[in-house]
Amino acid sequence: MIIPEKLYKQIVDTMPIPCVDVVISNDSRRVLLIRRSDEPAKGKWWVIGGRIHKKESLVDAAIRKVRDETGLEVKIIKKLDFYEYTSDQSEHNSKTGTHSVIVGLHVKLKHSQKVNLDKTSSEYKWIGHIEEDLDPYVKQILRDSRIFS
């Protein structure tokens, strides 16, 4: 179930939003990062993710977000941890910013595929280690995935 835009803005103004963030790895033990086009974290390198719809499982939300934002087919490897992300910015110009309660998941590509970004990202890259200039939240979810250890 998708919440109408006006109501969703009211919800963002008053409540934390349940989300999934997805660490996507390939057979070469590299991780996909996208550069965000929208707030929060506009212009930063990030993992794929977003809100969970009502009556949508965590797994279904993760698979949907990956498919919608990158066109990739993935399989779930494991749940990582619970996270919390706050920002003064919001994609909906919220007066109170963003507060997300996040479940992280590690997924792997089902087969070799081409990334096809949607409008929420401006570019992508595959990384083979945790880069120093990444946001602390992104570093944490990548550490928790243990892909690079």
- What ranges make up the beta strands (E) of the chain? 17-25, 31-36, 45-46, 48-51, 74-87, 98-109, 121-127
Residue 77, pLDDT above cutoff 70? yes
* pLDDT over 80 at 41, yes or no: yes
- pLDDT for 48-74, tens place per residue? 999 999 999 999 999 999 999 999 999
Helices (H), 15-57: none
| Whether pLDDT at 25 is above 90 | yes
For residue range 6-15, list pLDDT tens digits in order.
Answer: 887 777 788 8
The dihedrals phi and psi of 12, each to the nearest 5 degrees, come to -60, -35
Could you tell me which residue, 94 or 137, shows the higher pLDDT?
A: 137
Residue bearing the bigger pLDDT, 89 or 73: 73
Chain mean pLDDT for the chain: 93
**pLDDT for the residue numbered 149:** 87
CA angle 74, 68, 119 (to 5 degrees): 135
